[in-house]
Amino acid sequence: MQGINRVGGANGVKAIVGSGFYWAWFDALFMSALFATGGTDGLMPEYGAIAAFALSLPVFGLVLWRGDVVGKLFESRRMTVAVAVAGTIGSLFYTVAGMANNWGAFAGGALLCGLFMGMYNMAWGMVYCKDGAKSATPLIAGAFAIAPLLDAPLLFMIPEARAVFFALFPLASSALFVAMGHSLTRKTKRRDATANAQTSEAAFRPLTDTMDVGSRLDESLAKSLGRPQTEPAASPHGMQAFLTNHLGVSAMLIGAVVLVMSGFGYLQHLLSFSTQADGIGVQVARGAAAIVMFCLLVARPERSSAVFRVGFLIMVAGIMMLPFFFGTDTFLVSGAVIIAGYTAFDMFIWVAFSHIAHTRSKSPVKTVAFIRFVANAATALGLVCGVLLVGQEEGANPLAFQETTVVGYLVVIAIVMLLSSEESAELLRSARPSPAQSTGMVGAMGETSAERMEAWLDGIGLTAREKDVADLLLQGRTQPWIAEALGISENTVGTHVRHIYQKADVHDRQQLLDLALSSISPELREPQSTITRAT
């Protein structure tokens, strides 16, 4: 029971299994499992993966242009199921294309699979970020862990049957997504009054149980990681301003994602689609790593930062092994190590951007769409580079060894950038449960009082992070203590405190405490006031 609570209860289990079916379908692309045969020269499965990734990009572009589109579509059960049906039909088109070498069926499959990939990437992405890193860490780790368990029985089937069963996974994912809808709607109705005025993405909120999906991001919070608020002239401009002020992300973080995901696509060409590849073996290694990480993250959530860092180092170790194994029968050993480490990176990116979408972004839906656009575009680019530079046959390109080594070291540079970045350090810390999530003034109250306090904090318009700060502030914690506990800078804490006072219309901590106590229960007011005066 404790394990179920740690992943978010019954809805958390539904999210893990439902998105697990989505990621299992994703795995099928890299295992060439949707194609009963390889098509012309065995290239059709890889072309299918490239096309699906590329054709998912217009979905993310549409969301970046009109953030409410996905929400409006998924408000309707019929549209939710229709997108999943499109994914199933597209997968079956791929199967027919592989069996009959039919490029018309291939084109139809690519279009429908791209639509499904983009739409459900957004749908499950918004579920992951409903409570930031707190929800994303167990959900994405659980989904990645259950995907190989869903894959495994199908690998023992004949290719045609396996392809058909994988084609049904979009429908299974859709069924569990729909099953989550009503309970999530009930949980979020009380938050809509303050959130509707702040974001046009409110239509998506009933599906995600988001505590603060539409919360307003102050510019000082968006810049707090590496740029203190001093003069307006120091503000970024152009694309940098859009990334930092609107989406809450930095160019450095995006650059690292582009390098790693491009390298991942290139290496996937070698490991999953070339003649010496073993796509199933690589996905088994990824699945084993995901299961181990899920167990560690659920059992010891306070050690999540260390788990991610070790995963990064394993990925680097695999890349360093690559030159020694390239072109040999043991090449897949280094590939399995790389993919196992990449699993940690993939989880980290989901957790990091879920945290950003929940706590910093003015438009969480657009933040999720942007990072998925970048990741999918970079993966497609890497696959294309693999096809063009390395080719399908082993030894076809005499410079393949040098090119692969360069790609590997670019990925290492990106990992070093991440590990040495203050922003990444904060994002790694954000995956750990903060003290305000398990203890604090609200947690120490009875259920009724805690609900009243939560409602009061929502009522004055605090963001998720401001509520964490307010809870610790009401305990009498100092700003340096709060900064250390939440893993943020003291300047950021000071900014949050000023905003809390402004929104509550008070001038100091004592007035905030008096106002908070008066909002919940007369029984709590006098004893707490006495204690405060005594200290």
Lowest pLDDT segment from 28-32, 185-189, 339-343? 185-189
Q: What is the dihedral of CA 277, 278, 280, 285, to 10 degrees?
A: -100
The domains of the chain are located at 7-180+249-430, 435-534
pLDDT of residue 34 exceeding 60: yes
CATH numeric code, 435-534: 1.10.10.10
**How far, in Å, CA of 411 to CA of 324, rounded?**
17
Q: Which residue has the higher pLDDT, 77 or 232?
A: 77
Per-chain mean pLDDT for the chain? 76
Amino acid 211: pLDDT? 33
Second-level CATH architecture of 7-180+249-430: Up-down Bundle (1.20)
Assigned token pair, 169:
């996974």
| Residue 245 DSSP class | I
Q: Do the two domains 7-180+249-430 and 435-534 of this chain adopt the same fold?
A: no
Task: Name the 3-class secondary structure at 212.
Answer: coil
**How far, in Å, CA of 233 to CA of 529, rounded?**
44
Helix, strand, coil percentages (3-state) for the chain, rounded to 5, are 80, 0, 20
Using an 8 Å Cβ cutoff, are 324 and 29 in contact? no
Amino acid 214: pLDDT? 33
Distant-in-sequence, close-in-space partners of 444: CB < 8 Å, separation ≥ 6: none
| Nearest in space to 319 (alpha carbons), one of 409, 255, 401 | 409
pLDDT of residue 437 exceeding 60: no
Amino acid 493: pLDDT? 86
Which range in 27-36, 219-228, 506-515 is most confidently predicted, on average pLDDT?
27-36
Q: Which residue has the higher pLDDT, 251 or 376?
A: 376
**How far, in Å, CA of 522 to CA of 506, rounded?**
20
Whether the CA torsion 134, 136, 139, 144 is positive or negative: it is: negative
Using an 8 Å Cβ cutoff, are 348 and 225 in contact? no
Taking residues 139-163, report their average pLDDT. 92
The answer to whether the pTM exceeds 0.95 is no
**C-alpha angle with apex 518: 515 to 519, nearest 5 degrees?**
90
